[in-house]
């Protein structure tokens, strides 16, 4: 049997016959949702129910960080960008930490209620004021602040029943280019990256981080390959040095930053060889089919840690509903 290591996307708000056939394939183990898949909470529940009917154990994910990266809005609490917490932390650290816990819980509770397993959160990058794609998605500009606030956010997610995925290892904040559009380069030395950008990852891994997504960034003084295709970064540093035992998700293999590795089958091969456990291919159906064909021809043993990421898919209880309503009211009052 082919290991279920491919995470795909959908074109719209309903499941097509072709997409249904793909999701039923043994090589497909995940689905990531985008704003184009959402019209309303009712429609989203219907779509997810259709997916579950075909693939009950599929891992359903979304990028739902808050701020400009929140895929679902109507009927969901509008979460602030996490950079807002960094501003609060500078003046009132205890209050900011408490808010981070509540925001992590609220984000996770609303998604779990929709039968979505994980949000790819938190962002553990540092905001140096350089990256066009990170910015206020980060919890701050220094390792200590990001570690504290992101750690609190993860605790809130855990209280709701959702596992956390830290991104983008070992840190995307210094590289200026957007890896969706080009291959960014970070020219700093290893010691600087370890002492600054890697600290939130190290701290949260020690606290039990369940997933990590590496960056499509070349750290040119360390390794010639982007981190997501680098045996050094994923095996020597992440697995061995930091002791990470969870799931390594590739970032989207259709991004320009992944073009370093060649065609889609080559991207899949390189990412798996480097140490990725699950491959994301989004916004490129032809590329996804190429990866699917590759996986069928090169079966793998799936990571047992993937199953541990599946959230508690039971409907949220009355206590969760009351807490969510109270938190939503507090946010509207800010």
Residue 63 is labelled as binding a ligand = yes
Cα separation, 261 vs 65, in Å, equals 28
Instruction: Please classify residue 249 by burial: count the beta carbons closer than 10 Å to its beta carbon, then call 0-12 exposed, 13-18 middle and 19+ buried.
Output: buried
Q: Which residue has the tokens 């910015």?
A: 135
Q: Which of 197, 251, 252, 277 is catalytic?
A: 251
Q: Which residue has the tokens 């996307």?
A: 9
Q: Which residue has the tokens 């009211």?
A: 329
Residue 137 is labelled as binding a ligand = yes
**Helix 318-333 vs helix 93-112: crossing angle, to nearest 10:** 130
Q: Which of 180, 231, 284, 298 is catalytic?
A: 180
**What helix, strand, coil percent values describe the chain, rounded to 5?**
45, 10, 40
- How far CA 20 is from CA of 14, 30, 207, 280, in Å, comes to 10, 13, 38, 17
Find, among 78, 95, 77, the residue nearest to 86 by Cα: 95
Residue 11 CB contacts under 8 Å (≥ 6 apart), including other chains: 19, 36, 285
Give one word for 243, left, alpha or beta, with left for phi > 0 and alpha for psi -120 to 50: left
180 part of the active site: yes
Binding-site entries for substrate = 63, 71, 137, 167-168
Binding-site entries = 63, 71, 137, 167-168
Would you name the residues annotated as active-site residues?
180, 251
């Amino acid at each position: 049997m082919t290991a279920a290591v491919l995470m795909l996307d959908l074109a719209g708000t309903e499941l097509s016959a072709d997409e249904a056939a793909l999701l039923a394939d043994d090589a497909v183990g995940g689905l990531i949702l985008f704003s184009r898949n959402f019209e309303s909470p009712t429609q989203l529940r219907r779509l997810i129910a259709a997916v579950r009917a075909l693939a009950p154990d599929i891992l359903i994910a979304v990028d739902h960080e808050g701020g400009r990266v929140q895929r679902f809005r109507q009927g969901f609490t509008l979460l602030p960008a996490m950079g807002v917490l960094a501003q609060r932390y500078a003046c009132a650290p205890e209050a900011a930490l408490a808010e981070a816990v509540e925001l992590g819980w609220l984000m996770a509770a609303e998604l779990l209620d929709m039968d979505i397993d994980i949000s790819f959160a938190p962002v553990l990058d540092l905001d140096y004021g350089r990256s066009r794609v990170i910015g206020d998605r980060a919890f701050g500009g220094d390792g200590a602040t990001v570690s504290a606030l992101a750690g609190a956010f993860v605790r809130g997610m855990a209280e709701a029943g959702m596992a956390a995925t830290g991104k983008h290892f070992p840190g995307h904040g210094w590289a200026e280019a957007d890896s969706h559009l080009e291959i960014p380069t970070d020219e700093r030395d290893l010691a600087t990256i370890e002492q600054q950008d890697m600290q939130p990852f190290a701290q949260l891994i020690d606290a039990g981080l369940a997933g990590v997504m590496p960056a499509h960034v070349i750290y040119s003084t360390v390794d010639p390959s982007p981190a997501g295709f680098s045996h050094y970064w994923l095996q020597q540093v992440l697995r061995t040095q930091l002791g990470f035992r969870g799931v390594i998700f590739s970032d989207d293999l259709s991004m320009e930053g992944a073009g370093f590795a060649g065609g889609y089958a080559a991207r899949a091969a390189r990412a798996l060889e480097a140490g990725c456990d699950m491959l994301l291919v989004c916004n490129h159906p032809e590329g996804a089919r190429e990866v699917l064909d590759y996986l069928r021809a090169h079966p793998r043993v799936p990571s047992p840690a993937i199953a541990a990421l599946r959230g508690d898919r039971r409907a949220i209880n009355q206590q969760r509903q009351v807490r969510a309503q109270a938190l939503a009211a507090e946010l509207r009052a800010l």
